[in-house]
Amino acid sequence: MARWGGRRAARYTAAVLAEYGTVCHLQLDGCTNVATTADHIVPRSLGGDPWALENGRPACRPCNSKRGNGIGAATPGVRVVVVTGPPAGGKSTYVREHAAPDDVVIDLDVIAAALRGPNADPLHLYPAHVRHVAIAARQAAIRRATRLAEQVTVWLVHSIPSPAQESEYHSRGWELVRVDPGAAAVIERARAERPPDVLPHIDRYYVGRNDTSVPPSRQW
């Protein structure tokens, strides 16, 4: 990847500030509030177009340096809700009932289904190579969605995050909603609607859970 800088980069920064203003859009700890740089919504290292005006936003230098290339906290105005719970617990139904039409929904099963060819097997049943591609697409979607300039809610379906992942979500200021109707209801639904290989994942969810290891989540 070519080194960022020079006259072209300076012209790009000037164009971003002229288009979107000189107030920092990131507003991280230590923000000066005065934008002097152009932050790439999708970083160049992750395939973002370095010269597209729509991929830039004003940022002060401390915020731009602090944000780096990771997912990080969502930009101001972006609300992130992580919906967790056992497989077949009703997470997708919860999102459908609560998401607004213009919200962003990131659901691995839905992404995987979209990547399948015609006449593929039903939802929730897909081969490993499709899953690998879907996971990569999911990560790219999270990075882009959490850096949107628009005021929007991002719904992230994550069935069984580890305690460390839940703690990380909380540290970013993301909300957690746990959708869990109980083991009996989940197992009955899974046997009726899901492939048999989902049952071990349900067992993994319920056996040995220690919910006191992470901050409390809302229960649906």
Do 62 and 91 fall into the same domain?
A: no
Q: Which of 67, 95, 111 is the last residue of a domain?
A: 67
Do 43 and 137 fall into the same domain?
A: no
Do 50 and 154 fall into the same domain?
A: no
- Specify if 102 maps to a domain: yes
- Looking at residue 212, what is its pLDDT? 39
Report the predicted TM-score, pTM, of the whole model to 2 decimal places: 0.64
- Looking at residue 208, what is its pLDDT? 56
Do 36 and 137 fall into the same domain?
A: no
Asked if 174 contacts 81 with a C-beta cutoff of 8 angstroms, the reply is yes
Collapsed DSSP state (helix, strand, coil) of residue 28: coil
How many domains does the chain contain in total?
A: 2
Q: Which residues contact 54 (CB under 8 A, 6 or more apart)?
A: none
- Looking at residue 68, what is its pLDDT? 63
- Specify if 73 maps to a domain: no
Residue 101 is part of a domain; what is its CATH number?
A: 3.40.50.300
Do 96 and 205 fall into the same domain?
A: yes
Do 83 and 60 fall into the same domain?
A: no
- Specify if 1 maps to a domain: no
- Looking at residue 14, what is its pLDDT? 95
Q: What is the largest CA-CA distance in the chain?
A: 64
- Looking at residue 147, what is its pLDDT? 77
Domain range for 124 is 78-219
Do 184 and 141 fall into the same domain?
A: yes
- Specify if 10 maps to a domain: yes
Do 119 and 202 fall into the same domain?
A: yes
Tens of each residue's pLDDT in the chain, 220 residues = 456 678 899 999 999 999 888 988 877 778 899 999 998 877 776 667 788 888 788 899 998 887 765 555 566 788 999 999 998 999 999 999 999 999 999 999 899 989 988 877 666 677 888 888 888 888 888 878 887 878 899 999 998 887 777 877 887 789 999 999 988 899 998 888 888 888 888 888 887 565 433 333 444 5
Q: What angle do CA 32, 36, 39 make, to 5 degrees?
A: 95
- Specify if 87 maps to a domain: yes
Q: Which of 43, 67, 91 is the last residue of a domain?
A: 67
Do 87 and 170 fall into the same domain?
A: yes
- Looking at residue 3, what is its pLDDT? 61
Do 53 and 146 fall into the same domain?
A: no
- Looking at residue 107, what is its pLDDT? 94
- Specify if 98 maps to a domain: yes
Q: Output phi, psi for 206, to 5 deg.
A: -90, -30
